[in-house]
Amino acid sequence: MITEHLALSIWTGRVNEMKDVRNLKVWQAAHLMTLSVYRMTRNFPRDELFGSTSQMRRCSVSIGANIAKGAGKRGNTEFQRFLQIAAGSASELDYHLLLVHDLKLLCDTEYQNGVNDLVRLRKMLSSLIQKIEHERLLARC
């Protein structure tokens, strides 16, 4: 369960500043979500290995990986673009959680914990995307 508070990050918005992705609260939350998904899918039926197990793991990894990739790019525009890709992967994971719950592969508690963690993560992504957009608009003035 992700217990991180909604603090965004230490992101300063300085274009030429090197960003250590491990210091970003949103990346930390994404990493915890990925670990949770791996634990969640560990006991899925073998016939789901190339279905739901693979898809859920792949899109959860994509969230953190795209945050990291964006943090390694120069400038707010690229960082924001990769955060938006991460947000898309989070939306995909949301669907997969619902699907495996409806297929009775996840119990109600696991499902609700996963959804709650994902909602917090998606809010963090959205807030950081909006913050960067605001900083980009201010920089144009």
Predicted local confidence at residue 16, as pLDDT? 44
User: How far apart are the C-alpha atoms of 139 and 99, rounded to whole Å?
Assistant: 43
pLDDT in tens, 58-102: 999 999 999 999 998 888 889 999 999 999 999 999 999 999 999
Tokens read off for 28:
């930390």
Average confidence (pLDDT) over 2-13: 40
Predicted local confidence at residue 17, as pLDDT? 53
Q: Are 133 and 14 in contact (CB under 8 A)?
A: no
pLDDT in tens, 9-68: 444 454 445 568 899 999 999 999 999 999 999 999 999 999 999 999 999 999 999 999
* The model's pTM: 0.85
User: How far apart are the C-alpha atoms of 101 and 88, rounded to whole Å?
Assistant: 20
- Domains of the chain, earliest start first: 21-140 (1.20.1440.60)
